[in-house]
């Protein structure tokens, strides 16, 4: 049976070049980077070269990059440090953030009694910058703003430079979960001085279980994992050498081919939009995902004018892998916290699907998916 993968916002297939780098590293770099002998030094050199090369992609110094097990750990490291080490007593965020941010903030609020304010989102799921400014203007506490660059469910793009300017004006720290943006959008941290960003390699054709956090120079950082002095004392645990080198290669390929890949992926997204409009009357597009300029070219969140709770399951059986705009449509009890933040109760009842693309996605795969959706919705 033919299988089509349209869930690249969840994870991307590893590129052959990345697999080869990791395979060779497993042979050549088996030493522990903390060991002082030649085998350890070789592994350490590979890690530090990767750190320098990754830092160059963001126009920062290598000392500002810390390797983690992924985006979730990176977000946690920033948020914990903001409260426990930097002295932040107020966090400003939104209700459409990734759970790695929302749930960590909830825990910090319960445990350390910090203030948390949620900025409003409009009917398209955009963060209201006017509301953000009002919140920052009235804030007398040491504040951290945490807003994601690309929303992982609806693809909305945060006007990142405007948020940076507001944070600078009102002397607030700014943390952005950039997991869905890195490898797809150019981020120059000298021109867009975000204080903290989080990354995960498997979102740009790298391996799972590895990512990094960027922390602006001069901001103190303490570990949340103890047991060693790795990562300049910030992150205990022997470095995942092979995955770090794989991430370096994946990022290099993504950045080198960014414009070319963007063009081809945009064509796929536009094609799917046209096909959906052609075959499904009254189909809606959640958030700004219909707008190529206001949303990521890799994500399209679609709401069908039907209530088909088993649609995701049926599509999976038919060979099409997609994600739900609402988890309850795949058998879970809770719906999407992102969609429920701006859709009406009636709108939320209809079935939503998140399609997400990569450079490997083809027009033929879209055609295959459309045919399977038509059959699944008709029953």
Q: Show which residues are catalytic.
A: 328
DSSP notation for 307-323: --TTHHHHHHHTTEE-E
For 85, the token pair is 């080490």
- 4-5 and 320-321 beta bridge pairing: parallel
Q: How many CB atoms are closer than 10 A to CB 26?
A: 12
How many residues belong to the chain?
379
CB 373 within 8 A of CB 315: yes
Instruction: Return the closest-CA partner of residue 234 out of 65, 7, 372.
Output: 65
CA–CA distance, 296 with 269 (Å, rounded to integer): 10
Where in the chain does DSSP place strands (E)? 4-5, 65-68, 90-93, 115-118, 143-146, 173-177, 196-200, 211-215, 284-285, 299-303, 320-321, 323-324, 352-356
CA–CA distance, 153 with 64 (Å, rounded to integer): 29
Q: Which residues contact 132 (CB under 8 A, 6 or more apart)?
A: 92, 119, 145, 163, 166
């Amino acid at each position: 049976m033919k299988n089509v993968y349209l869930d690249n916002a969840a994870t991307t297939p590893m590129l052959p070049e990345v697999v080869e780098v990791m395979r060779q590293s497993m042979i050549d770099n088996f030493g522990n980077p903390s060991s002082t002998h030649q085998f350890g030094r070789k592994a350490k050199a590979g890690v530090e070269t990767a750190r320098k090369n990754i830092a160059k992609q963001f126009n920062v110094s290598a000392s500002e990059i810390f390797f983690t097990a992924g985006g979730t750990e990176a977000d946690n490291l920033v948020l914990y440090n903001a409260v426990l080490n930097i002295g932040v007593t107020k966090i400003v965020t939104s209700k459409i953030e990734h759970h790695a941010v929302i749930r960590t903030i909830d825990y910090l609020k319960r445990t350390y009694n910090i203030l948390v304010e949620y900025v409003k989102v409009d009917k398209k799921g955009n963060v209201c910058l006017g509301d953000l400014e009002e919140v920052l203007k009235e804030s007398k506490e040491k504040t951290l703003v945490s807003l994601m660059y690309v929303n992982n469910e609806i693809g909305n793009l945060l006007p990142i430079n405007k948020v940076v300017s507001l944070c600078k004006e009102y002397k607030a720290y700014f943390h952005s979960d950039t997991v869905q943006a890195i490898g797809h959008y150019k981020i120059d941290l000298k021109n867009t001085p975000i204080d903290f960003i989080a990354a995960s390699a498997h979102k740009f054709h790298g391996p799972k279980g590895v990512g990094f956090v960027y922390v602006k120079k001069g901001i103190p950082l303490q570990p949340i994992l103890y047991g060693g002095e790795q990562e300049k004392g910030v992150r205990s645990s022997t470095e995942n050498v092979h995955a770090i080198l794989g991430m370096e290669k994946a990022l290099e390929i993504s950045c080198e081919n960014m414009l070319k890949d963007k063009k081809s992926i945009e064509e796929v997204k536009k094609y799917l939009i046209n096909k959906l409009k052609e075959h499904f009357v009254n189909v809606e597009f959640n958030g700004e995902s219909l707008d190529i300029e206001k949303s990521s070219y890799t994500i399209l969140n679609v709401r069908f004018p039907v209530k088909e709770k088993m649609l995701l399951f049926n599509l999976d059986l038919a060979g099409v892998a997609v994600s739900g705009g609402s988890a309850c449509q795949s058998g879970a009890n809770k719906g999407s916290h992102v969609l429920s933040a701006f859709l009406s109760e009636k709108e939320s009842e209809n079935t939503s699907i998140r399609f997400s693309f990569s450079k490997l996605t083809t027009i033929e795969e879209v055609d295959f998916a459309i045919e399977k959706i038509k059959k699944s919705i008709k029953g």
